Amino acid sequence: MNQQPVLDIVGLFVFIAALIFSSEVASVVGPYMVIVVGATLGASFKVARREKTTRTSAVLFFLRVVGMAVFLTVVLALILNSYRPDLSPRVTVAPIAILIGFIDWPWALTKIIRGMFAALDLARGKGGAS
């Protein structure tokens, strides 16, 4: 069987994983390696912008961000693919993982929750105008 070469970041990590694992395991592990490396890269920029803390705090931050990226990246890539079928999930997982690592989540979640409460107030007829 003659396979087409895969020229994306997931294909590269599947190839690297295949050097260590069998090809079946590498096809599963490779995409998650991309997510972990991408989220770690994004989180490293975020840690550099944070106020100085202990190493333990930084490691726990990395674990939270990478864990969140593992759970959210594939779902967000599939949602993006449903709106833009020309963007394959294989191509979008790396940028999404980097973005998840890079975002300031407490600030973003505060804005999202404020927006939700504002929409509820608007729906109930209690708009901002007094």
Instruction: Give DSSP secondary structure letters for 36-65.
Output: HHHHHHHHHHHHHHSPP--HHHHHHHHHHH
pLDDT class of 114 with cuts at 50, 70, 90: very high
Residue 36 has a pLDDT of 92
Closest residue by Cα to residue 97 from 76, 78, 69, 75: 69
In the chain, the amino acid numbered 94 is A
Closest residue by Cα to residue 72 from 93, 46, 45, 102: 93
The mean per-residue pLDDT over the stretch 53-66 comes to 86
Q: How far apart are CA 88 and CA 30, in angstroms?
A: 16
Is it the case that residue 130 has pLDDT exceeding 60? no
- Give the whole-number percent of the chain exceeding pLDDT 90: 25
- The two three-digit tokens of residue 53, written as one number: 């803390």
Return all residues near 61 (Cβ < 8 A) that are at least 6 apart. 43, 46, 47, 50
The mean per-residue pLDDT over the stretch 22-42 comes to 90
pLDDT class of 4 with cuts at 50, 70, 90: low
pLDDT class of 3 with cuts at 50, 70, 90: low
